[in-house]
């Protein structure tokens, strides 16, 4: 019995020793070398991320919400993922001695620096995020001031965490193009350089409804389809682009040669404005209409994606036809009678597309 008690005591002491060695190691300055878990991420108000190639971004909580580089609203998905990552990531074990020098050398060349600050702009902690572990079971991380790096992972997750600490602006900034509810919509102007008869101006009137101005010869003797106008007013919420093309080599040259498909100019009642110039995107080997002609697409151009210039001509982006087609209506559609009762008035206009001449 006494021997059993002794064995139990020895096991407990050994377990505590292993835990202390792995997760409570402190250097002479009192740095917890394995403290990569930030349990209360609500205390984080600023995150600075920088890599060795000169890329750096600052994510900051403001009165207007989270902003990146104090210029652009942050896309919620990546921010939520980063916060959950920091709250759940754990040090699994220190890097083995036989790999220590190699890992440290690689981190010195490629690691991402992460600085965290609280609501009083007081520094909370700094750590470095390296590459993935060979078996894809985590990422190498090193606490500032620590003597050795650790393998860090989210328990139960397969993969590595490094991509979640991106230093690229376009991975963080919101991709919103329009997010204007009907009640805040003042006017929308849609123009088609190739088919000007399809142009229209959609505007709020004094009665709280919407008028649609089109070429007189198209509306003569016809009444505005109020149901369609009401449906269209709701189309400008949560309209997003696919991705930014800023800095892509040669993109300005491509745009200079691309025909303009359409222009959207929106004014909100609160004064916010947005203009989007949409250009045809040349066919490539991934275009779905490479072998099958699409009657609604200009010959030689992609049927599913377009180039767009927006945000006061500061940004170039890729947008999807599936997202924008419902905005790009034809003028006469607002003065057509419905062919059959609509089961869903908010989507009844989407089925019609804009016929583009292939010339």
Using one digit for the tens of pLDDT, what is the confidence trace for 240-280? Answer: 999 999 989 999 999 999 999 999 999 999 999 999 999 99
- Give the model's confidence band at 92: pLDDT under 50 very low, under 70 low, under 90 confident, else very high: very high
Instruction: Clarify whether residues 167 and 226 are in a common domain.
Output: no
The last residue of a domain, from among 138, 171, 204: 171
Based on the fold, state whether residues 217 and 288 are members of the same structural domain. Answer: yes
Mean per-residue pLDDT over the chain, rounded:
88
pLDDT of residue 338: 87
**Is residue 77 domain-shared with residue 99, that is, in the same domain?**
yes
One domain, residues 120 and 29: yes
Is residue 13 in some structural domain? no
Q: Are residues 203 and 86 in the same domain?
A: no
**Count of domains for the chain:** 2
* pLDDT tens-digit map of 182-215: 999 999 999 999 999 999 999 999 999 999 999 9
If you search the block for the tokens 């123009």, which residue do you land on?
A: 191
**Reduced to 3 states, what is the DSSP secondary structure of residue 257?**
helix
> Is it the case that residue 5 has pLDDT exceeding 80?
no
Which residues, in sequence order, are CB contacts of 179 under 8 Å at separation 6+? 236, 237, 238, 239
Q: Which of 35, 88, 83, 39 is nearest to 61 (CA)?
A: 83
Last residue of a domain, one of 147, 171, 195: 171
pLDDT of residue 22: 47
pLDDT at 29 > cutoff 50: no
Residue 319 and residue 200 share a domain: yes
The lowest-confidence range among 41-55, 114-128, 278-292, 337-351 is: 337-351
Whether residue 161 is found in the same domain as residue 181:
no
- Is the per-residue pLDDT at 60 higher than 90? yes
Residues 115 and 143 in one domain: yes
Are 34 and 137 members of one domain?
A: yes
Contact 74, 67 (CB under 8 A): yes
Per-residue pLDDT, 352: 43
Please tell me which residue, 255 or 349, carries the higher pLDDT value.
255
- Which comes out higher in pLDDT, residue 21 or 311? 311
Span 331-342, mean pLDDT? 84
Report DSSP state, residue 26.
B
Q: Which domain holds residue 303?
A: 176-335
Does a structural domain hold residue 5?
Answer: no
Higher local confidence (pLDDT), 88 or 344: 88
247 and 137 in a single domain? The answer is: no
pLDDT score recorded for residue 341: 55
pLDDT at 28: 36
Share of the chain above pLDDT 70, in %: 85
- Tokens 């992972």 correspond to 153
Whole-angstrom Cα distance, residue 311 to residue 258? 19
Q: Are residues 93 and 203 in the same domain?
A: no
């Amino acid at each position: 019995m006494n021997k059993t008690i002794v064995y139990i005591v020895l096991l407990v002491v050994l377990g505590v020793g292993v835990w202390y060695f792995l997760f409570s190691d402190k250097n002479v300055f009192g740095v917890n070398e394995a403290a990569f878990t930030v349990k209360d991420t609500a205390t984080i108000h600023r995150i600075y991320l920088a890599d060795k190639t000169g890329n750096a971004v600052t994510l900051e909580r403001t009165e207007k919400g989270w902003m990146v580089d104090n210029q652009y609203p942050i896309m919620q998905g990546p921010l939520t993922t980063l916060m959950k990552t920091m709250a759940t990531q754990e040090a699994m074990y220190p890097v083995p001695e036989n790999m220590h020098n190699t890992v440290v050398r690689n981190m010195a060349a490629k690691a991402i620096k992460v600085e965290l600050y609280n609501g009083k702009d007081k520094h909370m902690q700094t750590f470095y995020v390296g590459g993935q572990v060979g078996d894809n079971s985590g990422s190498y991380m090193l606490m500032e001031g620590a003597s050795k790096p650790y393998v860090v992972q989210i328990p139960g997750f397969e993969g590595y965490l490094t991509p979640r600490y991106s230093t690229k602006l376009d991975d963080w900034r919101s991709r919103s193009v329009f997010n204007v509810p009907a009640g805040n919509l003042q006017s929308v102007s849609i123009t088609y350089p190739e088919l000007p008869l399809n142009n229209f101006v959609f505007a709020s009137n004094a009665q709280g409804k919407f008028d649609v101005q089109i070429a007189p010869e198209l509306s003569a003797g016809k009444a505005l389809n109020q149901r369609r106008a009401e449906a269209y007013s709701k189309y400008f919420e949560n309209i997003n682009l696919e991705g930014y093309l800023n800095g892509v080599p040669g993109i300005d040259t491509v745009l200079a040669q691309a025909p303009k498909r359409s222009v959207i100019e929106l004014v909100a009642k609160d004064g916010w404005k947005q203009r989007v110039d949409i250009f045809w995107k040349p066919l490539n080997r991934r275009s779905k209409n490479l072998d099958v002609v699409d009657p609604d697409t200009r010959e030689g151009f992609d049927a599913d994606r377009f180039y767009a210039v927006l945000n006061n001509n500061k940004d170039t982006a890729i947008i999807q036809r599936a997202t924008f087609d419902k905005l790009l209506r034809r003028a006469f559609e607002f003065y057509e009678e419905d062919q059959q009762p609509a089961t869903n008035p908010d989507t009844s206009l989407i089925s019609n597309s804009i016929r583009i001449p292939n010339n």
